[in-house]
Chains A and B, each alone.
With several copies, the nearest count.
Chain A
Amino acid sequence: MENSYNKIITIERAMENFQDGMTIIFGGFGGIGSPPTIIDGILDKEVKELTLIGNDTGFPHIGIGKIVSEGRAAKIIASHIGSNPVAGQLMTEGKLEVEFSPQGILAERIRAGGVGLGAILSDIGMDNEMVADGKQRVIVEGKEYLVETALKGDVSIIYAKKADPYGNLIYDKSARNTNPLVAMAGNITIAEVEEIVPLGSLEPHEITTPGVFVDYIVPSKGVNWTWAWE
């Protein structure tokens, strides 16, 4: 495949972007749409003390859950950890700091980081201490809102169905989920893709994530876990 924008790299080259203590934003929802090859790369490189930002902690052996279960994360910002009991256990033992954010607000916070805004004002969970504690409040047109800060990361890792060499992306069905938002929020964005197609073969109006946001493209080795329903 042509590599006219030098974005197509091996998983080994991609791993040069990861180190201890960094913030990784990951795409996916219950593991669906999370990038399996990059996640295994992170495990193999044994980076630790990570801050992870994403929808949830997957399952113990699915998606980002693999990293959480191995104790590589110091902190996670997510909407729930219910499907990964190991995450709950690490939290209880004081080994994992967890910040909960309502699911759609978390998505908007990641998007806000991705489009260069400082925060959004939300009225979700205003009376709930887990959501509202420590957050600024602002009154707009007589109504009070919470200041929900934008989230950004050192690296975004996402999963797509198709990429062209510029990094234009098309996602598969509900594996889209948080990926287009996460794609924008990283200082460096690495997309793991099922298929790389020639430049010009994607219809411009069909592209969900413009390649502008994508720094590197890594061919996927495919999902190597067993789904919870299997």
Chain B
Amino acid sequence: MGLGIDVRNRIAKRAAEEIKNGMVVNLGIGIPSLVPNHLPDHVNVMFHAENGITGMGPSPKKGEEDENLCNAGGFPVTVVAGASYCDSAISFGMIRRGRVDMTILGSLEVSENGDLANWIVPGKKVPGMGGAMELAQKAKKVIVLMNHVDKHGKPKIVKECSLPLTSARCVDLIITEMGVFVVTNDGLHLKEIFPPYSFQEIKTNTGCSFQW
């Protein structure tokens, strides 16, 4: 059960509020790619792509794609004023040195203590970790955007992840169509509830306890 574009945009819009002036932000594929559409105009932010771009702009118009200017997912992008290119080693140097302020990514599961499992899809072959581990482990803030439940209606926010971890205790914030959770040292805190959902609906669809 995927989410409609309106709901996806609502999640992306809420994530965009986390971005402060001057930040360097890495965006994963899926809902995170919608985040730039919701940034206020006065926010100066540099979007980072791990294949070596700092300062990604919006997608090009059809017919204006440049085959040598693509994001880490291989899709054409543009660059903004102040952008730079670098090699993959420096690009990940930015991440490991703590210079990437935030990564916004999707996930299969997140545990109550912030464990992230987003790289091995059940039943699929192991595709490799790509750059996910470094981003999860070293970005200063990790925000997960995802459906609250999987296609079978099962909670994706769980007590312990059943899938192999990308990185342990790395998630700071979870935003779903139902609400916003903060991961703290003493567990999950539900911070916001999105209409039309109720506290009870969130509780029913969340696989672990949380504070409110």
Interfacial residues, chain A to chain B (CB-CB below 8 A) = 4-6, 29-33, 55-56, 59, 78-83, 88-89, 91-92, 98, 100, 102-105, 107-108, 110-111, 114-117, 123-125, 127-128, 130-131, 161, 164-166, 168, 171-181, 184, 199-200, 202, 204-205, 207-208, 210-213, 223, 227-229
Nearest Cβ on chain A to B54's Cβ, whole angstroms? 5
Chain A CB within 8 A of B129 CB: yes
| Contact of B82 with A166 in the complex, beta carbons under 8 Å | yes
Chain A CB within 8 A of B70 CB: yes
| Contact of B88 with A181 in the complex, beta carbons under 8 Å | yes
Nearest Cβ on chain A to B56's Cβ, whole angstroms? 9
Nearest Cβ on chain A to B72's Cβ, whole angstroms? 7
Cross-interface CB contact of A103 among B79, B99, B134, B168, cutoff 8 Å = B134
Scoring B residues 94 to 105 as 1 if CB is less than 8 Å from chain A, else 0, what string do you get? 111111100000
Chain A CB within 8 A of B131 CB: yes
What 4 new A-B contacts, CB under 8 Å, besides A79-B131, A80-B127?
Answer: A100-B128, A124-B138, A130-B126, A223-B67
List the B side residues contacting A110 at CB < 8 Å: 89
List the A side residues contacting B199 at CB < 8 Å: none
Question: What CA separation (Å) do A117 and B95 show in the bound complex?
Answer: 11
| Band of interface residues on B | 35 or more
| Contact of B50 with A103 in the complex, beta carbons under 8 Å | yes
| Contact of B87 with A176 in the complex, beta carbons under 8 Å | yes
Question: What CA separation (Å) do A81 and B85 show in the bound complex?
Answer: 24
| Contact of A102 with B84 in the complex, beta carbons under 8 Å | no
| Contact of A111 with B89 in the complex, beta carbons under 8 Å | yes
| Contact of B129 with A130 in the complex, beta carbons under 8 Å | yes
Output the nearest chain A residue to B83 by Cβ-Cβ distance.
Answer: A204
| Contact of A6 with B22 in the complex, beta carbons under 8 Å | yes
Chain A CB within 8 A of B143 CB: no
Most chain A beta-carbon contacts within 10 A, residue among B24, B44, B92: B92
Cross-interface CB contact of A82 among B79, B93, B128, cutoff 8 Å = B128
Question: What CA separation (Å) do A84 and B137 show in the bound complex?
Answer: 26
Question: What CA separation (Å) do A102 and B164 show in the bound complex?
Answer: 15
Output the nearest chain B residue to A28 by Cβ-Cβ distance.
Answer: B51
Question: What CA separation (Å) do A81 and B68 show in the bound complex?
Answer: 21
Cross-interface CB contact of B79 among A98, A105, A204, cutoff 8 Å = A204
Output the nearest chain B residue to A183 by Cβ-Cβ distance.
Answer: B87
Question: What CA separation (Å) do A177 and B168 show in the bound complex?
Answer: 28
Chain A CB within 8 A of B155 CB: no
Nearest Cβ on chain A to B120's Cβ, whole angstroms? 9
Question: What CA separation (Å) do A178 and B52 show in the bound complex?
Answer: 9
| Contact of A173 with B68 in the complex, beta carbons under 8 Å | yes
